[in-house]
Amino acid sequence: MALLQEVTSSFLRRFRAPPASLHRIWASQCRHASTEAVAQETDELEVSSFLQAEGPTQQAIERFDPAGVAKRRNRRLPPSRYQFRSPRYYRGPLHPHQPPRPSEPSSREFAPGPFSLPRLEQTYHDTLASDYMVLAYAHLPPGQTAFKKGDRLRRWEGDSPYFKNRPLRGPRGGDTLRLLRKPVTFRNVPQLQRVTVHTMSSDAINSGAALHVSGMVLQAITNVRAEAHEVKKSVAGFGVRAGMYLSLTCELKGEDMYHFLSKLVDVVMPKMKDWPGVKGSSGDFSGNIALGLKADEVALFPEVEVNYDMYPPKLIPGCHITIHTTATTDQDARLLLTQIGIPFFGKLVN
């Protein structure tokens, strides 16, 4: 009985908070860089074998040679020692074999990457984003109220009693609503979202090789496997039947997108002959800007230029490049792309 009491009391002592002043507890919870604060924090940590364990000895480090061990082995290992295939189907949370996360190398859906920290991404976060915020700021002096816009959806006005709960009318000029533009703050500076490279070859109507060549070119310049699309509707005028594979697209996101845009702006655009820039009217009113490259201009990409002779003559395609941004207006998207280095010419249409 006494033993049980002793055990219980020692057990309870570990769980009871040490008698400490409120100030000391608060000070320990603040994060300071000083060694005193660190020492204080480590004092309050529980004793653990992890903290006391030592690393491997120098001898163990020098002798570690997995490749050498494998070479010197005479016998053959059973396949289960070096072969592993993750389960093909998900059989529920209680099944003993759970599929690994897609980020695990052993997963069937593993896609390696990223391989680098792109220069354009760094430049955007360090330089361009803060400049954008300054440029897009709209000041409201104290005492002035913001200009109040009319209702987007108009009410039915008049005497008629049927107007009261009638569904609201669209804006004048059409029923399509443009995207609302939120003020630009540090939390929603427009960013590059993705890039779509698209090409369609009419040579592919007669020869399948043309589509393969286009696919190789797109793969070379974007580092992404191209996806083929079939024609939806037959048009006799173009000599095209539904179900024919004539066009390819590549979706670029993240690292691939930044590398592609850097190459486009720094290598390809300066070499383009008599190129005035991207048209000012380019844009879908939602912050996505598109431009086109001719076949000669696609050949200026370093990946195509290096083995230009390997491609059949006249089969290197031109392409459309659509740059999707998180901006909601063309004006904002154009400002971002101008910062990146893409020139615009002509009347700027929003």
Partner 1 sequence: MNAGQKSARRIAAGNGPISRDTVCVSCLHRLTHPSRRNASTGTALAESPSSPTQQPRHPNPPVTTAKAPRKAYQLLASPVLSRPPLLTRDLTSFEKAYYLYQKRLNERLALPFTRYFYYKKGTPGDAEWKRKIKVRKTPARDIGVYAAYGDEGWNDEVLVGDRTAERESVVEALLRDAEGKGIVDEEVVGDKDTEGLVVAGDAKVGEGQRRDLTKVEVERPVERVTEADRANNMRSLSRKMDRTLYLLVKNREGRWRFPQDRVHGRENLHQAAERILVQGFGIDMNTWIVGNHPIGHHQMNYTSGGAPAPRLAKISPNRLVSTSRDRPEYEQEEYGEKVFFMKGRMMTGQADIGKNEYGDSEFRWLVKEEVEEAVTGGYWKSVKDMLAER
Which residues contact partner 1 (rule: CB under 8 A)? 61, 64, 66-67, 70, 82, 105, 110, 112-117, 119, 122-123, 126-127, 130-131, 134-135, 137, 139-148, 150, 157-159, 306-307, 309-310
Question: Nearer to partner 1 by C-beta: 34 or 307?
Answer: 307
Catalogue the long-range contacts made by 120-127 (C-beta closer than 8 Å, 24 or more residues apart): 120/258, 120/259, 120/261, 120/262, 120/340, 121/255, 121/258, 124/191, 124/192, 124/340
Smallest distance from the beta carbon of 216 to partner 1, in angstroms? 8
Smallest distance from the beta carbon of 146 to partner 1, in angstroms? 7
Smallest distance from the beta carbon of 118 to partner 1, in angstroms? 9
Question: Nearer to partner 1 by C-beta: 184 or 291?
Answer: 184
Smallest distance from the beta carbon of 240 to partner 1, in angstroms? 30
Q: Which amino acid, 265?
A: V
Question: Nearer to partner 1 by C-beta: 92 or 112?
Answer: 112
The CA-atom distances, in angstroms, between 241 and each of 39, 208, 237, 244, 248 are 76, 15, 10, 6, 17
Smallest distance from the beta carbon of 326 to partner 1, in angstroms? 21
Smallest distance from the beta carbon of 330 to partner 1, in angstroms? 20
The answer to whether the beta carbons of residues 350 and 331 sit under 8 Å apart is yes
Question: Nearer to partner 1 by C-beta: 8 or 130?
Answer: 130
Smallest distance from the beta carbon of 83 to partner 1, in angstroms? 10
Question: Nearer to partner 1 by C-beta: 191 or 322?
Answer: 191
The answer to whether the beta carbons of residues 329 and 350 sit under 8 Å apart is yes
What contacts 31, CB < 8 A, 6 or more positions away? Answer: 37
The answer to whether the beta carbons of residues 150 and 171 sit under 8 Å apart is no
Smallest distance from the beta carbon of 122 to partner 1, in angstroms? 5
Sign of torsion over alpha carbons 86, 87, 89, 90: negative
Question: Nearer to partner 1 by C-beta: 19 or 143?
Answer: 143
Rounded CA-CA distance 62/56 in Å is 10
- Under DSSP, is residue 255 helix (H, G, I), strand (E, B) or coil? helix
CB atoms within 10 A of CB 327: 29
Rounded CA-CA distance 152/169 in Å is 9
Question: Nearer to partner 1 by C-beta: 158 or 167?
Answer: 158
CB atoms within 10 A of CB 37: 14
Smallest distance from the beta carbon of 123 to partner 1, in angstroms? 8
The answer to whether the beta carbons of residues 262 and 118 sit under 8 Å apart is yes
Question: Nearer to partner 1 by C-beta: 150 or 237?
Answer: 150
For tokens 């082995």, the residue is 73
Question: Nearer to partner 1 by C-beta: 79 or 92?
Answer: 79
- Under DSSP, is residue 308 helix (H, G, I), strand (E, B) or coil? helix
Cα–Cα–Cα angle for 168, 169, 170, rounded to 5 degrees = 125
